[in-house]
Structure 1
């Protein structure tokens, strides 16, 4: 992890990510003069960083179109060979990742008129372009992770805390991100890492955000909250959901929780598993009695270092790769025409090595897809490691040695 410099302060980037409030005044000064910070991932040529405000805090982000010049393994490094999700000039796309940041059109309304008590959020919104498509919450959550660089691991450390996740998500949103036409910081709250010394500031910021969630019986103004799923509990009237970063309860129905448990089965079963993380993106409204209620959500399974995974077996593989300090990425399907999409890609071998985790053996469609991918890899000269979870233990899987290091 590189050092960064701003207002005469030089500290590891990880410290600024984990405790941004501690450096708030220095970042404020640097934002005025000289107007940027510096990343020292390349000792011979420090790169400029944007100092960007999101909510009440300032965060560091990569300078536009400069990611290619950062060193491999730097959080601000961008590979020009991998196109960002949503780029490509399709103005009807639900998620557009442009030079000013993400522009998202969700299939859930953030403003609901003619409120019916107890009604779930309809899959509608107020579109500015009639032909523009709409994204489900899970697609938006996956895009947030990809834009933030949270689908890759540099091999330079063995840990990633929520403070770093928060900072990377905010940086990945971009300078002028929009969600359903509204500025992202007005409708999306990325939960902050709790710090006792910053408790008052964190509480003030959160209360100001949820204060925008309102319901006068005619118009309901909703918001999105992203954090790590902590607990799903029974209440006298249904269920409550709590995120790990804060003890705030968000109420919902038993039927809704049952629906989520089926829709996001792999993630739901991992709640409470110490080796995994479960990320929740909540669509929250206020009831006419003033309670906060979840009307829609997406859940995503992650490894212990917040790398997205499709099964608990992938979590085990990701945790092993991190422990062995491998450089790798977790591809996410963002395009229908992706004919390969391995579970992981080792980037520290030449050529890159695909890793497949097989856990659905015997299913005809699954076996056919495995055969197709094997044929494609053979034709393209791509080496692969396969783990059949029913036949082999993970520790017996031999990985190719790393030939490329940061």
Structure 2
């Protein structure tokens, strides 16, 4: 028997890699001879670097960069096994966890560190990039990142603007004379699972600003800055970055990647599945095991387990999904490729206990062991 394990992390509890180990042990407890293929998963958000480095036998790179509050932070990105593809989670350089809750202020937070990571990867020979958007503390439309890559944004006095979302309304001119010389040789694939435009009622500031510390008055000003930036880009460079689907992702980083770096914005899970050659490795599998921390209606909107299930369904392979929590609307997943799903919770417990990594590990192992005892008996 061959079993392919492809689970996302159980956010805040256990990583995709450790969760996969627990499931593997549960299977081996029943039958040590079962062939197991493990593919750690992510959907473009947290855990993407770790999953792709592990799946491709790549390497991690640590680099000191300018963080969201203009202070130095250590950020980690990955170089995949092909030695030419870098994978970067923008949150590593400008994420919300890097900003204490009492200091969250998208007027000042910058994406400059993301550009520094790209430059570092270019210097190490990478020309292909996989970018995971999400979790940013910023609303600067990626201008900070572009500044690190050599783009200059000038105010009415022909001086370079500073960092942060508040500076966008001061942009009057764009200078592209000194951009990084290797950028034209680079390709960018960006995992982006939102369709928000850059500004307006459904744009970056109004939809994502509050979680980044923006007040109602700040949101109005940030939105005006985004609109000003989009208009200057249209006038100076002839690019409409506002109406790109996903332009408003990660505080407008989607617009910067798609417009200035000609990136392809695509479904996070589909991008990851392609990169780890999931369709090739699923061949011959008798079962696929997937899962994440919570299975619910959002899972059917394109998250990792559904992407795995749809691919397995294409090849007529049964799919078992494991999760910490399961909601009432999870049954819709049975119609979308997941054969059956199970909660790993085996007793009443507090949220703190449920999030404990050791408890999660043990529960994943135990649940898998019991499932495969049943499978062995039936077969």
TM-score, length of structure 1 as denominator length = 0.30
Query: More strand by proportion, 1 or 2?
Result: 1
TM-score, length of structure 2 as denominator length = 0.32
- Greater length-normalized contact order (CA 8 Å, ≥ 6 residues apart): 2
